[in-house]
Structure 1
């Protein structure tokens, strides 16, 4: 799995919550009101199941979940990706 694969899977997961609104990889999905803080737990479960990772307590920083870029960094720091 490549970094682009990770980004695509994350965007596919987020799409239903965006109500068709465009989203840049650096947009704060919480500040824009697309999702709320309770959705962070859904994100954790999605990431752990989809990418077969276990997130550590120190990785549970809210900032890791605000943007697509942050989510990709979080996943890629937890798994070994192919080129």
Structure 2
């Protein structure tokens, strides 16, 4: 994706498709992924790798907190913030 084509909607759609494919179920943007019991901490690493490769960002140690990966909405905010900061 190019810098200009990344919108909150595009990030949400990408993540919902990724999660749906991985878990074989549908998710809501505000649904707590880890409370559902469908994902493990190992899956959090997969999410980090997906976000970095799909959106051209680098997620630093300061952002590797579960709160940033708990929902599609929080991951969308993280991606948009990191892209805006050029990280």
Same fold, TM-score > 0.5, yes or no: yes
**Whose RCO is larger (CA < 8 A, sep 6+)?**
1
Q: Where does the alignment leave 5 or more consecutive residues of structure 1 unmatched?
A: none
Q: Note the C-alpha offset of 1:34.
A: 1.5
Q: What does 1:20-35 correspond to in 2, within 5 Å?
A: 20=25, 22-35=26-39
TM-score for both structures, normalised by structure 2: 0.83
Is residue 2:79 matched to residue 1:75? Answer: yes
TM-score by length of 1: 0.87
> What CA distance in whole angstroms lies between the structure 2 residues aligned with 1:54 and 1:19?
27
Stretches of structure 2 lacking an aligned partner (at least 5 in a row): 1-5
* Root-mean-square deviation over aligned CA pairs: 1.1
Aligned residue pairs total 79
Larger helix share, 1 or 2? 2
